[in-house]
Amino acid sequence: MILSQHKRFFRLSLLMLCLQLSLQVASGQKGTTIDILNADLTAYDELQIGNDATKLIGNVRLKHEDVVMTCDSAYFYQSTSSVDAFSNVRVQQGDTLTLTGDRAYYDGISKIARVRNNVELVNKDITLLTDSLNYDRAAGFTYYFGGGILTQEDSRLTSGRGRYILDSEDFYFMDSVVIVNPEYTIHTDSMRYNTRQEISYFSGPTEITGEDRYIYCENGWYDMQQDISYVTNNAYMEEAGRILKGDSLYYEAEQGFGRAISNVELIDTAQNMILKGNYGLYYSDQETAMVTDSALMIQIDGSDTMYVHADTLRTLQNPDMEEQSRILRAYYKVKIFRTDLQVMCDSLVYVEADSAFDFFGEPVIWSDENQLTASHIRIYMVDQQLERMQLNGVAFVASQKDSVSFDQMRGKEMTGYFKENKLDRILVSGNGQTIYYATDQDVIVGANKTVASDLTIYLKENKISSVVYISKPDGTYYPLSLFPAEERRLSDFKWLEAWRPLSWEDIFIWK
């Protein structure tokens, strides 16, 4: 009797346990039920379809939560809450997302749909075409493989595979990504594209090609609505015969404004000019560019190359000229190197229309053995060759004879003439003063100290060969041993050889 009671108690406990487990399973699958809304024909055949499978034929319509699926036929598996759908498959979620294809498998528990063949995803104004797409409703994203085409308004994007995050409206594209738009074409390795903001984020070698502009980078982003780009890693932009390089480039096409940072290069192919620095600004409409921080200009003229360094370099279109003509401005601590001419000053202006350089702020020019200084110096070029220069305000020419002796010419104004890029003669006008050392077989034997209103200095191989006094001179010849030390320097004499750049690298040195 007691044993029988124990058996009944055991059976009752087992029954309650099974009931509890059944309730837990039912609770765990809550919300995963797929409802059959319509089917013209329903069939059950365990031998052909499988156990617990229902075949639905004709105008099939199923619903799971907020998703409605339609197709021509389907296998519905109630025990796994899943569906195999065939022919004219259409998945509709809400009023924004539509997914169609030839066949699909949908798991109501994991909420994953796998759609194959002639797949089309439409979400708002975005259409995606592919042959293989998976839609994870729980995670809120889709991903495709085997190639896809995305269209949005006038833009068409192709890639090998991709992923779409529905909430953020971000696409991630990989493998041979190409965007074609009436305004531009983009080629890249991989890209993130926000369809809401229409901003593309690049990773890997990327090319952006427009009608008048080409951009290369290996990282960055592009705002398609505002036509703004920010690119890094070997960044390169070419527009209207000008090339802009830098570690990072920011460009607003509508405003025509660009900014470059670190290892900046602006190359003007028409002018054979290169601007370098570590910070640059560019305005395409005004055709203006500025570089600073180790700024360097390189001007290639065929026969020689000129290097210009300053704290800041700026080039702009000449506002006074209708035809193409440029102006270069250099500010603070300017140095120039050419093999035949070197310059140091505080600022300069070069006007292309006049082929003239103006040097300001205690300018110094070195031409072979000669040092020329003045308050202001202007040099004229013809066909990239030195033609003449003008020195105004305490103009001075000096050349070293030995460690303590210097030929010196001082005047109110001077005009120097070049022949084959070498000084040929110098005209001194007003208050002319000279100290000229006489030599015998290259040994200094005496000195002429002369005052004359006007005079001409002749040079041969950039060395002073003779001095011709135009007005009546007043001078004294001193044997070298009798030349007083206090008379050996004209007023305003200064020897600045220590500042002279002997190579283009020296233009960055300030002692």
Q: How many helices (H) and strands (E) does the chain have?
A: 1, 32
CA distances from 35 to 29, 40, 67 (A): 14, 15, 11
- Which residue's structure tokens are 């085997």? 146
DSSP state, residue 470: S
Quote the pLDDT of residue 321: 65
CB atoms within 10 A of CB 173: 26
Q: Is 253 left (phi over 0), alpha (psi -120 to 50) or beta?
A: alpha
376 class by beta-carbon count within 10 Å (0-12 exposed, 13-18 middle, 19+ buried): middle
Q: Tell me whether strands 385-400 and 376-382 are parallel, antiparallel or unpaired.
A: antiparallel
- Alpha-carbon span 377 to 396, nearest angstrom: 11
444-476 residue pLDDT tens: 999 999 999 888 989 887 778 888 888 788 989
Report which of 369, 467, 355, 367 is spatially closest to residue 411, judged by C-alpha positions: 467
- Alpha-carbon span 360 to 347, nearest angstrom: 5
Task: Give the number of residues written for the chain.
Answer: 511
Rg (Cα) of the chain, in Å, rounded? Answer: 42
CA distances from 369 to 4, 406, 459, 461 (A): 128, 11, 11, 9
Quote the pLDDT of residue 225: 85
SS3 of residue 7 by DSSP: helix
**Bridge partners, residue 88, by sequence:** none
Whether 188 and 175 have beta carbons less than 8 Å apart is answered as no
- Taking the whole predicted model, whether its pTM rises above 0.85 is answered as no
Whether 397 and 457 have beta carbons less than 8 Å apart is answered as yes
With residue 247 as reference, give the H or E element that holds it.
Answer: strand 242-252
Cβ burial 332-344 (10 Å sphere, 16+ → b, else e): ebbbbbbebbbbb
Q: Which domains does the chain have, with CATH numbers?
A: 32-122 (2.60.450.10), 364-497 (2.60.450)
CA distances from 43 to 102, 324, 333, 449 (A): 22, 83, 92, 125
Whether 241 and 227 have beta carbons less than 8 Å apart is answered as no
Token pair belonging to 106: 């949908």
Those residues whose C-beta lies under 8 Å from the C-beta of residue 412, and which sit 6 or more positions away, are: 392, 393, 394, 395, 429, 430, 431
Ranges under pLDDT 50 in the chain: 1-30
- Alpha-carbon span 221 to 284, nearest angstrom: 21
With residue 436 as reference, give the H or E element that holds it.
Answer: strand 422-440
- Which sign does the torsion angle of CA 91, 95, 97, 102 carry? positive
Quote the pLDDT of residue 511: 64
- Long-range CB pairs of 267-271 (<8 Å, 24+ gap) are 267/242, 267/243, 268/241, 268/242, 268/315, 268/326, 269/241, 269/242, 269/243, 270/241, 270/324, 271/299, 271/326, 271/352
- Alpha-carbon span 16 to 14, nearest angstrom: 5
Token pair belonging to 145: 């493989």
* φ and ψ of 506, to 5 deg: -70, -15
Those residues whose C-beta lies under 8 Å from the C-beta of residue 389, and which sit 6 or more positions away, are: 365, 372, 377, 378, 379, 380, 415, 416, 418
- Alpha-carbon span 497 to 487, nearest angstrom: 22
- Alpha-carbon span 414 to 454, nearest angstrom: 10
Report which of 198, 191, 196, 200 is spatially closest to residue 167, judged by C-alpha positions: 196
CA distances from 330 to 277, 311, 334, 357 (A): 13, 8, 7, 11
- Alpha-carbon span 101 to 346, nearest angstrom: 73
- Alpha-carbon span 421 to 417, nearest angstrom: 9
Q: CA angle, 121 as apex, 158 and 57 as ends, to 5°? A: 135
With residue 3 as reference, give the H or E element that holds it.
Answer: helix 2-28
Quote the pLDDT of residue 49: 60
